[in-house]
Amino acid sequence: MNTIIIGAGISGLVAAQELKRQGTDFVIIEKSNRAGGRIASEKIEGFTCDVGFQLLNPAYPAARSQLNLKSLGLQAFDRGATVWHQGKQITLADPTRAPHNAGGLLHTLKGQDARAALEFLRVPSEITLADALDKSQFSPLMNRTIRTFLAAVVADEKLSCSVKFARDLMKYFVLGSPSLPAQGMEAIVKQLLEGVKESIRFNTAVEKINEAPAGVEVVCSDGSTLTANRVIVAADPLASSYLTGINKPATGALTTWWFATSTRPTESRYLHLDLSGQPLFNHTAVVSNIAPSYAPLGKHLVEVSATGLRNDDPQQIAARSAQILGADNADDWKLLTTHHIEHALPIIGADSNPVPKNNKMTLAGDIRHASIQGALASGRKAAN
């Protein structure tokens, strides 16, 4: 056999698609009973609840090259955000897309923030995002907005990722509008599974990878062994570090609550950020305003996301979300599910470029770039 792929997440599936295109034989070993890794969607009472709030940015080069974006039926959030600050809503919108909301943005982007934005682009790449924001000296409102938003994006309230990685992510937010597939984020997985699903061995964990005369030997938990010329390790970051011997990465956690309601809380298609002194969460949104297919007819779906593993009272979360969205109350809100994702994303440091010592191993996944772009791009690169 030419190639063994460990992990049927999106990076492993992209690698498989590329190998299939090349006419190279391969097998995918997946420890769980499903493909997709951390990208999944649940159907609950007719609602689509993605496992953790996730978005696909069509500006990602790897998404444009590896996915059929048109068939996903992408539905985009409005560009910008609405923040809850000092007891009122302020909408920070892209004035070219929403001129009626440009006043909020222009009110905020004063000279100090314009200068700070330039400084943010100049700070050394090796420092953390938190340090870069400190050095840039944004106004208090803009500083808090950026921190609250990006903390949820990178799954780290401390913003300890490298500013280089953060600037790369922010570039894509400028270039594209984060979107939701009509049938949920798992539609990405279903698309990538086409033509390669029959090559996956599900419910099979890999215990170790050994060097072999002809390449590599993969030892599985069921006692079986497989040999191949090479192996692509596309597992989750912790499993990949264990199997390849690279340093174990720090990871960030996220909690997402999903609520159903019969009363539309707002017409807004923005993310709403809580900038209060002691926020219960980072952001909330009426997801069904953006993707009506996520909710049954006449119903509405609200997501609320926070960094860390949280066990707050759902009623308090709902009440606070309703307030920030501008709704009268959350009396008829029903909690559909709560997702606690302990290892949501690896935290990307300035030196996050791990390389396995065995040259027959190739590392894929989001361990170098914690994003869908990173996962997709690494899968294709690993196969070539």
The pTM for the full model equals 0.93
- Within this chain, do residues 57 and 167 fall inside the same structural domain, yes or no? yes
User: Which pLDDT value is given to residue 112?
Assistant: 84
The rounded distance, in Å, linking the Cα atoms of 119 and 94 is 21
User: Which pLDDT value is given to residue 185?
Assistant: 99
- pLDDT (tens digit, 0 to 9) for every residue of the chain, 384 residues total? 899 999 999 999 999 999 999 999 999 999 999 999 999 999 999 999 999 999 999 999 999 999 999 999 999 999 999 999 999 999 987 644 544 443 444 445 567 888 898 899 999 999 999 999 999 999 999 999 999 999 999 999 999 999 999 999 999 999 999 999 999 999 999 999 999 999 999 999 999 999 998 899 999 999 999 999 999 999 999 999 999 999 999 999 999 999 999 999 999 999 999 998 888 999 999 999 999 999 999 999 999 999 999 999 999 999 999 999 999 999 999 999 999 999 999 999 877 677 787 889 999 999 989 999 999 999 999 999
Single-letter code of the amino acid located at 251: T
Task: Please give the torsion angle defined by the CA atoms of residues 356, 359, 365 and 370, in that order, rounded to the nearest 10 degrees.
Answer: 50
- Within this chain, do residues 177 and 291 fall inside the same structural domain, yes or no? yes
Q: Which of 113, 117, 124 is nearest to 164 (CA)?
A: 124
- Within this chain, do residues 96 and 230 fall inside the same structural domain, yes or no? no
3-state secondary structure of 71: helix
Question: What CATH code is carried by the domain that includes residue 195?
Answer: 3.50.50.60
- Within this chain, do residues 284 and 308 fall inside the same structural domain, yes or no? yes
- Within this chain, do residues 13 and 97 fall inside the same structural domain, yes or no? no
Sheet of strand 88-93: strand arrangement: 88-93, 80-85, 271-274, 283-286, 300-307, 251-261, 334-346
The rounded distance, in Å, linking the Cα atoms of 101 and 94 is 8
Question: What CATH code is carried by the domain that includes residue 177?
Answer: 3.90.660.50
CA angle in degrees (0–180, nearest 5) for 236-344-152: 145
| Other Cβ atoms within 10 Å of 184 Cβ, number | 25
User: Which pLDDT value is given to residue 356?
Assistant: 85
The rounded distance, in Å, linking the Cα atoms of 25 and 23 is 7
Token pair in block for residue 83: 């923040």
What domain count does the chain have? Answer: 2
User: In which domain, by residue range, is 73 found?
Assistant: 41-184+251-346
- Within this chain, do residues 161 and 96 fall inside the same structural domain, yes or no? yes
- Within this chain, do residues 173 and 263 fall inside the same structural domain, yes or no? yes
